[in-house]
Amino acid sequence: MKLLQNVLKAPFALKKPAPKPEGVLLRAALVSDTHITKARYRRALLIPTLKNAARFAPDAILFAGDCTDNGNAPNWLAFAGDVEKHCGVKTKLFALGNHDTWESYHGAHDYKSARDLYLAFTGRLTGERPAHVYFTREVNGFPFIFLGSESDGVSSYLSETQLNWLEGALAAAAKDRPQGPFFVVHHSPMNHTHGVGANEHSMGISGDASPRLQAILDRCQNVIYICGHIHFGLQKEGPLATVQLVGNHITSVCLPGCEYGELFNGKYASPGYPLPGTGLLADVYRNRIVFTGASFLLNREIPVFRWEIPLAADRNN
């Protein structure tokens, strides 16, 4: 509690937006797992995060799922109201998270109701209501392909229909950009990445979907897979690293929990950079992508967490 009290004393005033670095073709602010309810302390973290994101002058802000904690109408009303009032970034992108599929945290889950609330509220925030929980968007000419669970479980379920759609969406995007980069956004990490499948947080994609998904993505050059879900803080190296190479051509980026850390051994703590309100900046250049840690809550970059991903015709050459 003392840590949270100290964080909340930090200056939250929105500053004049900083210019994007020279040569950047696309800058995106990336956050995940805001887990909003009507609780004041959760919104006390979200609101300055939303306000300060504009300081970094992103072309888009992307939420990688679990925007809400229970997926019900009061949660979405709180989240959408704060985004509309406090987020100065024009282009907003939202993935579906497992908490967003539950509609009710206690008792029976209602996936259809939760899905429809997600589609309605994110459609309201973006002006584009998708027909499914999987869809494509384009920002500054770069494709963003969103995947979403088709069940209300903790692990994600991707149907054969959705996976076939993904193959078509990647093929369509490759017609304009044969070498990408292709941004694929899905709340759940792939199995055996970012610690999933190797510890108590074995909550990746269920069944056969994960290997099939990885195989589909690995056919393309320069795939950036953006996920969240496990709430770890920023980590530079090791099996829980925030940015990892998967297969031959996939860079998997697992965003930290914006709202809180994860529970370990009964203690409320997260490995890695510990403060909430944390995410990443993604700067796309002609031949590389640079990911930099950002405390949107404290209004500053965290340059010790920086990854430079080359964009080449073939990373194996």
Minimum mean pLDDT range among 2-11, 68-77, 187-196, 243-252: 2-11
Q: Which amino acid is at 8?
A: L
Q: If you average pLDDT over residues 183-210, what whole number do you get?
A: 78
Beta strands 223-227 and 182-185, pairing class: parallel
pLDDT category of residue 317 using cuts at 50, 70 and 90: very low
Q: Give percent of the chain with pLDDT exceeding 90.
A: 67
CB 270 within 8 A of CB 232: yes
Give me the pLDDT at residue 92, please: 98
* Mean confidence (pLDDT) of the chain: 87
pLDDT category of residue 64 using cuts at 50, 70 and 90: very high
Q: What is the pLDDT of residues 214-266, one digit of tens each?
A: 999 999 999 999 999 988 889 999 888 999 999 999 999 999 999 865 444 44
Q: If you average pLDDT over residues 277-297, what whole number do you get?
A: 95
Indicate whether 151 pLDDT > 80. Answer: yes
The model's pTM is: 0.91
CB 180 within 8 A of CB 152: no
Q: Give percent of the chain with pLDDT exceeding 70.
A: 85
Give me the pLDDT at residue 212, please: 93
Q: Domain 24-310 falls in which CATH fold?
A: Purple Acid Phosphatase; chain A, domain 2 (3.60.21)
Provide the residue ranges of all domains of the chain, joining segments of one domain with +.
Answer: 24-310
Give me the pLDDT at residue 31, please: 97
Q: If you average pLDDT over residues 196-221, what whole number do you get?
A: 78
Q: What is the pLDDT of residues 11-27, one digit of tens each?
A: 444 456 677 889 999 99
pLDDT category of residue 39 using cuts at 50, 70 and 90: confident
Q: If you average pLDDT over residues 210-214, what whole number do you get?
A: 92
